[in-house]
């Protein structure tokens, strides 16, 4: 780690993950101290329109607290 808190991802890891400069990495520290680094490859917005359905459900029918 350098003085700015930056690290270098080894070339073999970059190739395996197919990441390029500018790819976003997310770091997660688990309760047991394990660190998971995740590649952010897709946005949730990319799923828009991926489900094709003609079903319409009213908001009131979605309410889990209805009697």
Is 47 part of any domain?
Answer: no
CATH (domain of 33)? 2.10.260
Is 1 part of any domain?
Answer: yes
Is 46 part of any domain?
Answer: no
Q: Under DSSP, is residue 60 helix (H, G, I), strand (E, B) or coil?
A: helix
Run means of pLDDT, 10 residues per run, the chain, 67 residues? 92 90 91 92 75 81 73
Contact assessment for residue 23 and residue 39, using Cβ atoms and an 8 Å cutoff: yes
Is 63 part of any domain?
Answer: no
Is 31 part of any domain?
Answer: yes
CB contact set of 41 (below 8 Å; sequence gap of 6+): 23
Is 17 part of any domain?
Answer: yes
Structural domain span for residue 18:
1-41
Among 12, 43, 5, 51, smallest CA distance to 27 is for 5
Would the pTM count as exceeding 0.85? no
Give pLDDT, residue 31.
95
Calpha distance 43→27 (Å, rounded): 17
User: Domain tally for the chain?
Assistant: 1
């Amino acid at each position: 780690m350098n003085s700015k808190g930056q690290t270098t991802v080894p070339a073999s890891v970059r190739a395996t993950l197919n990441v390029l400069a500018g790819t976003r990495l997310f770091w997660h520290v688990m309760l047991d101290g394990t660190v998971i680094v995740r590649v952010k490859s897709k946005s949730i917005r990319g799923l828009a329109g991926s489900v094709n359905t003609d079903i319409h459900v009213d908001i009131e029918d979605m309410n889990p607290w209805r009697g």
